[in-house]
Amino acid sequence: MSADRLLLTLSDSSDSSDGHSRIEILNTGGYRSDGRRQYELRTISIDLSPQGSGADGSASLTHGLTQVNVCVFGPREAKMRSQTYHDRANVNIEVAIAAFSASERRKRGRGDKRILELSQTLKSTFEPVIQTSLYPRSQIDIYIQVLQQDGGLLQACVNATTLALANAGIPMYDFVCAVTGGVHSTSALLDLTLLEENDLPNVTVAVMPRSGKITLVSMETRLHVDRFEEIFRLAGEAGTVIHREMRRAVKDRTEQLVASMQSVGRPSTGADVGDNEY
């Protein structure tokens, strides 16, 4: 489980908030700036079709206008001895943020502190969830490509990684579903856009819906103690809502694969993803 540190919008918040100060976060009619109400999540779209380059599993996910692509390679033989463990697989996560993804065009190299921090957070989130002990002396590579940012970057990365891992057939104990929650005055808001994220104290929570366990809590702003519990609980619940959506996407994809395999005339080998869990 990850500690409650960090994570962020990878944009220069001071600048992007400039023009927005005239937009109300939550108006008296109870609508947010994009027409949602307090507890409504943004539209989520999931694409699990393979995305070239021969990845073992991939996923493309959008939360509203935030878009990330994840490719998973492995489990495969570890390339470097130094990162080989005799009893488990090594999980390697690399995040790349496209220069055009944020409001301000900015190239971030691989050594960028924010990016390292983000991949480290993801790594510590997923290591305990993936059944790494099944694959000793091997490594699982996860490449995350951020294409567009409009708030909830960490949440999108977590959800997309879960889907890509599932798609790659890597056994996990459970789904990991993350949602960001914030507080405006005393009202809780879920799934924040960039605009909201810049203005509100917020916390990202990742849950494992089956066990109800929390695998990640990340907070970069200051949130009043009295509000924390409510937001934390709500974000957790929202995670289960997201879970339904993710599970359906995985199921649809599997059905589609099964159907297409049957149409070719070969029986399913049963080695595919969806068997044990859902």
Strand-pair category, 90-97 with 138-148: parallel
Site of tokens 């960490």: 154
Contact between 17 and another protein (CB under 8 A)? Answer: yes
In the complex, least distance from residue 224 CB atom to another protein, rounded to whole angstroms? 8
Task: Report how far residue 76's alpha carbon sits from residue 24's, in angstroms, rounded to the nearest whole number.
Answer: 50
**Interaction residues for another protein, span 65-94 (CB under 8 A):** 65
Which one of residues 1, 5, 27, 49 is an interface residue with another protein (CB under 8 A)? 27
Instruction: Quote the DSSP letter at residue 248.
Output: H
- Cα separation values, 196 from 1, 10, 115, Å: 27, 14, 22
In three-state secondary structure terms, 65 is: coil
111 CB neighbour count, 10 Å cutoff: 7
Tell me the pairing of strands 138-148 and 66-77: antiparallel
Q: Is 231 in the site for another protein (CB under 8 A)?
A: no
What's the CA angle centered on 207, arms 31 and 231, to 5 degrees? Answer: 40
- Pick between residue 68 and residue 190 the one whose CB is nearest to another protein: 190
- How far apart CA 174 and CA 277 sit, in angstroms, is 8
- Which member of 89, 115, 234, 273 binds another protein (CB under 8 A)? 234
Q: For another protein, which stretch binds (CB under 8 A), given 19-27, 49-57, 121-129, 266-274?
A: 19-27
Least CB distance from residue 248 to another protein, whole Å? 11
Q: Which stretch binds another protein (CB under 8 A): 30-38, 72-80, 83-91, 153-161?
A: 30-38
Does residue 22 bind another protein (CB under 8 A)?
A: yes
* Rounded least distance, CB 4 to another protein, Å: 18
- From candidates 39, 85, 173, 228, binder to another protein by CB under 8 A: 39
- Give the shortest CB-262-to-another protein separation in angstroms: 30
- 245 touches another protein (CB under 8 A): yes
The site string for another protein over 251-270 (x = CB under 8 A, - otherwise) reads --------------------
Tell me the H-state helices in 127-152.
none
If DSSP codes are grouped into helix, strand and coil, which group holds residue 139? strand
CA end-to-end distance (rounded Å), the chain: 24
Q: Which of residues 140-159 bind another protein (CB under 8 A)?
A: 148, 150
Q: Please report whether residue 6 would count as binding another protein according to CB under 8 A.
A: no
The DSSP string of 134-173 is GSTTEEEEEEEEEEE-SS-HHHHHHHHHHHHHHHHT--BS
Choices 11-19, 48-56, 119-127, 256-264; region in contact with another protein by CB under 8 A: 11-19
Select from 4, 143, 174 the least CA-distant residue to 74.
Answer: 143
Identify the residue among 201, 206, 249, 250 touching another protein (CB under 8 A): 201
Q: Which is nearer to another protein, 130 or 177 (CB)?
A: 177
φ, ψ (nearest 5 deg) of residue 200 = -110, 150
Cα angle for residues 190, 191, 196 (degrees, 5° grid): 90
Binding site for another protein (CB under 8 A): 14-22, 24-25, 27-29, 31, 34-36, 38-45, 64-65, 100, 102-105, 148, 150, 183-185, 190, 193-194, 198-201, 221, 224, 234, 237-238, 241-242, 245
